[in-house]
Copies of this chain bind each other. A is one copy, B any other.
Amino acid sequence: MVSRVLLTGAGGRVGQAILDGIGDDYDWRLLDRDPPTENPDHEFVIADITDPDEMREAMQGVDAVVHLAGDPRPEAPWDSVLRNNIDGTKVVLDAAVDADVDKFAFASSNHAVAHYETERKPDLYRTHDEFKLDGTELPRPGNLYGVSKAAGETLGRYYHDEHDLSFVSVRIGNLTKGHPPIDYERGQAMWLSHRDCAHLFDCCLEAEYDYEIVYGISDNDRKYYSLERAKEVLGYSPRDNSAHFDGDERVE
């Protein structure tokens, strides 16, 4: 049973969506490089994920990790993603294995596979198009940030195979609060609502799995990412769908 969870990058958008939804369900240890902007509801550690000593200390007594920290910018320069996203993920994985952590949920990204869209857009974003990515495909990153996320997935595979750590890579789509992106077909195709986001990471903490790559999106009519593995292995049961909105209004 997962009780104590370390959440890295707790101050970011994904972290906030998770805490809004399942903040009361676990004994959270929040971690961020920057101090919290308001008084946190949970234990808060200010640390840099690229620092092995700080991460070893932050990992004490932890059952599971939700690893969101890293440079989140799609246009981030190589030096930053090399250090923060690739090397940083390695540091967090080492600390997790040293502390006998059971489960590790990694925030990967749609950018790890964005170049599959190049020859297929915009049809791909529309409901008549049947093409779907399912997580078994090789990465085709759309930027160096996406390269770094793919490298994190491979590191996770290695740590799973070597240390039997349960590892799930969540290729997060377009997370927005309240309603899907407006006038942006790609964003509607890969929309992830806040409550579906929190529920999906809850599944990552509760389910039993070995190594998984899943897509983190709501059940959008326009989707070109399969939700099969997330549903089957993790028990993900999304409640939202960008087709149920007209602009910022829920219509269904």
Contacts and interface: CB of A to CB of B under 8 A. Distances in A.
B157 A140 contact: yes
B154 A115 contact: no
Contacts of A150: 151, 154
A34 to B, nearest CB: 25
Question: Quick one: copies of this chain in the complex?
Answer: 2
| Main secondary structure on A side of the interface with B | helix
B141 A138 contact: no
Given A86-B82, A87-B82, A158 B136 contact: no
Interface string A112-130: 0001001000000000000
Interface of A: 78, 82, 86-87, 90, 115, 118, 136, 138-144, 146-147, 150-151, 154-155, 157-158, 161-162, 213
Given A140-B157, A150-B154, 6 more contacts: A78-B90, A115-B158, A136-B138, A138-B138, A139-B157, A151-B151
